[in-house]
Amino acid sequence: MEQATTHRTHWINGKPWTGAAATRGDIYNPATGRVSGTVDYATAAEVDAAVAAAAAALPGWRETSLVRRAAVLFEFRELVRKHSGELAARITAEHGKVVSDAAGEVARGLEVVDFACGIPHLLKGGFSENVSTGIDAYSIRQPVGVVAGITPFNFPAMVPMWMFPIALACGNTFVLKPSEKDPSASLLLAELLAQAGLPDGAFNVVHGAKPAVDALLSHPDVRAVSFVGSTPIARYVAETATSHGKRVQALGGAKNHMVVLPDADLDLAADAAVNAGFGSAGERCMAISVLVAVDPIGDELVGKIADRIGKLTVGPGDAEGSEMGPLVTRDHRDKVASYLDSGVAEGATLAVDGRDHPVTGGAADGFWLGPTVLDHVTPQMRAYQDEIFGPVLSVVRAGSYARALEIVNANPYGNGTAIFTNDGGAARRFTHEVEVGMVGVNVPIPVPMAFYSFGGWKSSLFGDTHVHGTEGVHFYTRGKAVTSRWLDPSHGGVNLGFPVNQ
């Protein structure tokens, strides 16, 4: 086994933790299948220390002016841009995605930082004069307190940046629990926040597994929790945190459908299906995992997709020319690959078998599975019902637009969807009728820009607030309405008005 070369630990109160961990986990290089480092796992004691640091920093940061908070975020933005190559390299080394994907992740995270830099405008309240005789009313939004973020392995930089820039801008302090599979990006972000002038304790990072998560969900000083991950864990996070009186936004899993109507540009649709289905090895909650082909274009479209897949280069994420990297762990790769056999056993056709796809420059022990297409999938099959979270595209055939819409709306998930058509009326009808939170029209991955909010419907969201955008600002603040009356100086008493002749 390869000698471990890195060790990662917690970031508490503005510096790396110096204690001795009771438990450590291995960090893998997915392209080689070998251990590349270790990471300390937090117990309740380390979580307590991080929350205590955040609580101690809260009064000072909460009272810091909006302009000063924005200035720290502006400086952080510039530092992230300067170190974007290093961030991308850390992501690729531990997650496996190709460098261009990792760089794109950092860029999308920075869009939320850009949005948060406008916090002086975003926190402006309302004012109504003379709501009753001599009485004014106004509204303000104030920080919640210490807040926590629990984030997944597939976007170790972007998803945390969906959360903490807005939380910090609003005057909260933050404790991040990133995925233990790829912890290094979060620690570089912590270092850059410190360099940007964020006070010690305002941002903390604890690593670990379920004990660390449970300690955050039950901690009496954590006021709100943000989460992104699978639906079963999102449900658990929401139920546990709310039972402890916390505000929760928990984004769960997805089964994103791309509906292709017969009038669509099939070359555009095939390109979109390949990019959205197999980018980042399908390990993203906005990946297209189901293609609903409306008769009679199914065979032609699947053929175009298969042709494109044959030209894709699968290899190590840091290798020039690689277009798709490995999956994140061996266990996950094996689970994803199991759907190929179960799909065929249940009646699907294996149009493209990713197990046969060549790997360019990758070690034999890497966590490889090439792009795969299961055709003639039906909603009763396990490959359709489960969130596979890998490079497996399921093709479902539909006889009409109405049947395609029925398939999408019957699915328990409601994260993202797309329709490909040249008919504006059909596209407008679909966006109105589909029961999904994020919709693309001839756009396969409709991730909203930072000034809108990200989140789905149904079993893809627990809690009622999406992340970033206006909803993100509202999640990390509490509204306060003030009704005020001041006696006019003409009523007598001290009068500091300008002296006039009587």
Same domain, 52 and 144: yes
CATH number of the CATH domain containing 333: 3.40.309.10
Q: Using CA atoms, how far apart are residues 94 and 34, in angstroms rounded to an integer?
A: 11
Number of domains in the chain: 2
Q: What is the pLDDT of residue 498?
A: 64
The dihedral built from the CA positions of residue 419, 449, 79 and 198, taken in this order, carries a sign that is negative
Which one from 285, 288, 305, 381 is the annotated catalytic residue?
285
Return the closest-CA partner of residue 269 out of 239, 300, 247, 242. 300
Same domain, 71 and 208: yes
**What is the domain range of residue 158?**
6-252+460-482
Element (H, E) at 393: strand 392-398
pLDDT (tens place) for every residue of the chain, 502 residues total: 344 579 999 999 999 999 999 999 999 999 999 999 999 999 999 999 999 999 999 999 999 999 999 999 999 999 999 999 999 999 999 999 999 999 999 999 999 999 999 999 999 999 999 999 999 999 999 999 999 999 999 999 999 999 999 999 999 999 999 999 999 999 999 999 999 999 999 999 999 999 999 999 999 999 999 999 999 999 999 999 999 999 999 999 999 999 999 999 999 999 999 999 999 999 999 999 999 999 999 999 999 999 999 999 999 999 999 999 999 999 999 999 999 999 999 999 999 999 999 999 989 999 999 999 999 999 999 999 999 999 999 999 999 999 999 999 999 999 999 999 999 999 999 999 999 999 999 999 999 999 999 999 999 999 989 999 999 999 999 999 999 999 877 666 666 666 665 5
Same domain, 409 and 437: yes
Contact indicator for 119, 66 with CB cutoff of 8 Å: yes
Same domain, 329 and 231: no
Q: Is residue 498 part of a domain?
A: no
Q: Is residue 211 part of a domain?
A: yes
Tokens found for residue 252:
């769960």
Place of tokens 């190709």: 98
Same domain, 228 and 80: yes
Same domain, 295 and 399: yes
Return the closest-CA partner of residue 156 out of 223, 224, 97, 83. 97
**Catalytic site includes residue 117:** no
Same domain, 416 and 385: yes
Burial profile 389-402: b = 16 or more Cβ within 10 angstroms, e = fewer: bbbbbbbbbbeebe
Scanning 63-157, the segments in alpha helix (DSSP H) are 66-82, 84-95, 99-116, 119-122
Q: Is residue 488 part of a domain?
A: no
Q: Measure the CA dihedral 273/278/284/289, to 10°.
A: 50
Q: Is residue 421 part of a domain?
A: yes
Q: What is the pLDDT of residue 1?
A: 35
Same domain, 414 and 468: no
Maximal C-alpha separation, the chain: 100
Return the closest-CA partner of residue 31 out of 272, 319, 273. 319
Same domain, 179 and 233: yes
Residue 490 bridge partners (DSSP): none
Q: Is residue 502 part of a domain?
A: no
pTM of the predicted model as reported, rounded to 2 decimal places:
0.95
Same domain, 75 and 125: yes
Q: Is residue 452 part of a domain?
A: no
Same domain, 405 and 465: no
Tokens found for residue 328:
């994140």
Q: What is the pLDDT of residue 2?
A: 43
Residue 397 bridge partners (DSSP): 293
Q: What is the pLDDT of residue 250?
A: 98
Q: What is the pLDDT of residue 5?
A: 78
Q: Is residue 177 part of a domain?
A: yes
CATH number of the CATH domain containing 98: 3.40.605.10
Q: Which of 385, 411, 441 is the last residue before a domain boundary?
A: 441
Place of tokens 């990758």: 362
Same domain, 237 and 262: no
Q: Is residue 499 part of a domain?
A: no
Q: Which of 412, 441, 470 is the last residue before a domain boundary?
A: 441
Q: What is the pLDDT of residue 410?
A: 98
